[in-house]
Chains A and B, each alone.
Chain A
Amino acid sequence: MKLLKQTTAGYSGNYSLADSVDRIVAKLPTDKKTLWWIDSADVQSTRQIIQIAEARGDDIHIGQSTSTGLQRRVSESTGWLGTTLAEATGHSQLVITLGSEVETELPQLGKQLTRAESTWIHLGEWRCEPVKPDYVIPVAVSDLYALLTEVLLRLRYESLSQRDADSQLLYSAITESDYTTVLWSADQFNDDIDELTLRRLVAISHLVSQTQRLCLLPIEANPGRVTASETLSWLTGYTPSVSLHDGQCRSQVERAAWPLERFRKAFRCIVMLRSVAAAAPLPRVNADVSIVPAGFTESAQGEVVEVTSVGLGAAGHLMRGDAALTVFHDGTFDDVSGTSSNERIAGPPSAIELLSELRHRIQLSTGAHTHRSGAVELGGGRR
């Protein structure tokens, strides 16, 4: 995952916590539903959003890449054999990385793999010098399907004659390894055509795992998205999109396929949250309010409310890209890359502080903390 530095450059510094909350409240309609769009968030911030939306009867949507939906669709129809980075770097006799994104998403992965006692084959171009895989098969993403099909058929019908050196290399490496991890950036596969490639990987995994171990590991590039999805799931049972109207929680999973403009038409107000700094631009939904890390406001829309990013100046819990580890960040960012940054910046509140204050304000105004009290009589039936 990309490590970003947050600085005070670009931070307006004009607003206190109370002022920031006021600016958000001023935008929230009292008579129409608001959509709380979570682009990337830590556990604490997500929980605050959920409670705010419950108090107001609003909706929540966690921005999804098409790759997330694709992987879910495939895994739900085939089963899935997975693993984590610890196994990839510590246990695998063979690591196969593929695609053009993995080296940028995990810049330290290469060093770990070259330290490990494993054979490393990369399918695609490799540009990250001086670290290099043991073997590079310079196959384009568009040609992966054909290569994997060749390997799958060779694994299935061992009598097939050798077709080319690339598939022979892969076939031999896989059959000689007791534990293989295939690793890619989750955003590598996005559409219906890519789905064919992903299904080939799953088929190889299932076939080989009958006698050896071959596990799949897509690395989620956006830990805040993983974190928000997991948090929404354990609190509501649903992900990525829910409606919390009338005290009921209803799944709105079909929204994962909505075009962005449809969200704008469906909601009077959209509040965008990104509590974890990221380089990618925010989705263009024409949000009314954008709660974003200071210094990363370029793509923010509407009323911009700046916060200190989790991991770079504020504490929060995030899940790692392989969902294996929830790490407490206390102004440091310590992940598999081994890189750390300890810059604290003064000024903006954290998203957690901001949302917590907002939640209290809203819950007071809606009376969401009212308790019944007094004598209890059990005349019949349950209370």
Chain B
Amino acid sequence: MRTEIRNGWVVDPQHPGHARAGSIWIEGEQIIEAPAEEQAADESVDASGCIVMAGGIDIHTHIGGGKVNLARMLQSSQPVDERTVWPTRQTGRLYNDIGYTSCFEPAMLLPTARHTHWELRDTPGIDSGAYVVLGNEDWLLRQLGQGIETAQLDALVGWAVSASRALAIKVVNPGGINAFRFNQRQLDVDERHRAYGVTPRDVVRELTASAVRLGLPHPLHVHASNLGVPGNIESTLATLRAAEGCPIHLTHAQFNCYGTEGKFGMSSAAERLSRFVNQHDNVTLDVGQVLFGQTVTISADTRAQYENSRFADGKRWIVSDMGASAGCGVVPMRYEDDRFVHSLQWCIGLELLLLIEDPWRVFLTTDHPNGGPFTCYPHLMRLLMDKSFRQDQLGRIHPDAAGMTALQEIDREYTVDEIAIITRLAPAKILSLDDRGSLVPGQLADVSVFRRHSDWEATFRDCVCLVKNGRIRSDALSGIDAGRLLSAAPEFDRGVVEKYRELLSSAYGCSLGGLEISQTELDEIYRN
């Protein structure tokens, strides 16, 4: 099957036909060179009046796994259309509706990885992957505290990635979730864990280096210490320095970007963090933008979520330690534009996106659903691309927050090229996904076509044609069509892992085999 998407305005800085009307040709699952004149298309899409981009890539979105399902259960009395955490099939369709085709679950726990994979498998229309959470296990922290050899650490980390079929590793509040199990309620970057003697700096340093040595596709993905705490910019910068020059990715950075100035004891530290990022090219971050409205926060950071439960909108919350690994906290939240803290958070996310100069190192996310649902991405894009609209929205928030932010003075407007970079090209690069993110021939045929409207939000909400793996998405598709799972296969020393067999089995309460997802098993999941 050969498909032509013709007359659309191509938006892809890497494409030779960028920024002009042209055709994108697809054959099978790939984008191809334009064929000779006499070869017609089997299927033709008239994209006149439209912009054509690669399928969007969301590098951090909570869409599959135990705590996501807990959030669904907590919202189960609401009609599905009124929620911010949807059933998996609706999640896939909603992502396709805004032109996204690849999404990544950032918090997969080793003992519940199968659950995550089932939910990702049952999210149609997108390829997906997950990051396995490490950095709060008793067995790991004990080893780090005793001084584990790098080869052994690499074997254990490589095993965890391989066993769980993850794409990358993520650390959440390094050492801090575990410390909370010992009733240690604070663990700053250079503070020692009362049981194991390690610091968050130790954890970050070792895991960032291990990720590099293992050749993982993505740097260590870091949910930093002290999330949500005023003044946490200090620990955030210390965390980034802990990488000692290794690539490091700071996730939902907005929640870790607070100073302590002003009468409310909380201020924006976006300028400091942006300056640091601009000066350190080993650092990337995704923003975790807050958008006003009702949502639910989902996190593996039990300590932070326990603190958050005080601010829950309603009493339907759950916080739980989880399987000797991290934890899970599901807390409903309503962000209001007349509240100082929420307004400041809204400002900080935008400041980060506008002050970080390199669009290849900053990524558009809301940490769905924590800052807001991903369905708000078109609104966020408009805020970045339309200064007058942004200023208008700034006028509606809490005046003290507006007065403290640099947003008023920022003239920058994202171009559509830059939007393509931060939502397609750059995510593909940071995840080492060489086959997508662009429209150049040879790439995977994930294409989104948006009808151009007078404002960018309306444009990015109007995805008139979505192509996934070369097939045009049809609303008539039934069944549960799975996307592909993208995972890493690091090499590691199995012999080292065998030495830790008893330790790992005891920690998780099951056999090592029970933790390892075989290829046969994975095929079975995707076959059904």
A residues contacting B by CB (< 8 A) are 43-44, 47-48, 51, 54, 75-87, 89-91, 178-179, 209, 211-213, 215, 229-231, 233-239, 249, 251, 253, 315, 317, 319, 323-328, 334-336, 352, 356, 363, 368-378, 381-383
Contacts and interface: CB of A to CB of B under 8 A. Distances in A.
A81 B451 CA distance: 47
Contacts of A47: 122, 480, 528
A253 B77 contact: yes
A231 B64 CA distance: 12
Contacts of A249: 80, 87
Nearest to B328: A82
Interface stretch (B11-19, B31-39, B113-121, B424-432): B113-121
B272 interface: no
A237 B76 CA distance: 6
Contacts of A372: 474, 476
Interface string B311-338: 0100111111111100000000000000
B306 interface: yes
A382 B76 contact: no
14 contacts: A87-B181, A233-B69, A233-B87, A234-B88, A235-B88, A235-B122, A239-B76, A324-B509, A334-B511, A369-B478, A372-B474, A374-B43, A375-B43, A378-B48
Contact of A179 (B183, B477, B513): B183
Given A78-B315, A80-B317, A325-B508, A213 B181 contact: yes
Contacts of A178: 182-183
A327 B510 contact: yes
A325 B321 contact: no
A11 B461 CA distance: 57
B502 to A, nearest CB: 13
A371 B119 CA distance: 24
A371 B510 contact: no
B90 interface: yes
Contact of B480 (A51, A370, A371): A51
A72 to B, nearest CB: 8
Nearest to B183: A178
Given A86-B509, A233-B76, A377-B46, A325 B183 contact: no
A234 B119 contact: yes
Q: How large is the interface on B (under 10, 10 to 19, 20 to 34, 35 or more residues)?
A: 35 or more
A43 B514 CA distance: 16
A336 B514 CA distance: 11
A182 to B, nearest CB: 13
B21 to A, nearest CB: 15
B183 A213 contact: yes
Contacts of A382: 462-464
Contacts of A89: 509
Interface in B92-119: 111-112, 114-115, 118-119
B480 to A, nearest CB: 7
B510 A336 contact: yes
B507 A376 contact: no
B360 interface: no
A335 B315 contact: no
Contacts of B74: 76
B114 A239 contact: no
A86 B324 contact: yes
Interface string B449-472: 101000000000011110000001
Contacts of B511: 334
A328 B514 contact: yes
B89 interface: yes
B181 A91 contact: yes
Most chain A beta-carbon contacts within 10 A, residue among B180, B316, B462? B316
A82 B318 contact: yes
A237 B80 contact: yes
Contacts of B476: 370-372
Contacts of B521: 328
B527 to A, nearest CB: 10
A326 B464 contact: no
B321 A87 contact: yes
A211 B77 CA distance: 33
A107 B74 CA distance: 31
Contacts of A234: 64, 68-69, 72, 87-88, 118-119, 122
Contact of A328 (B323, B464, B517): B517
A51 B83 CA distance: 23
Contact of A317 (B90, B114, B316, B472): B114
B112 A79 contact: no
Nearest to A212: B183
B377 interface: no
Nearest to B74: A76
A249 B88 CA distance: 13
Given A84-B322, A234-B118, A327 B514 contact: yes
A267 B54 CA distance: 49
Nearest to B66: A323
A77 B317 CA distance: 9
Contacts of A239: 73, 76
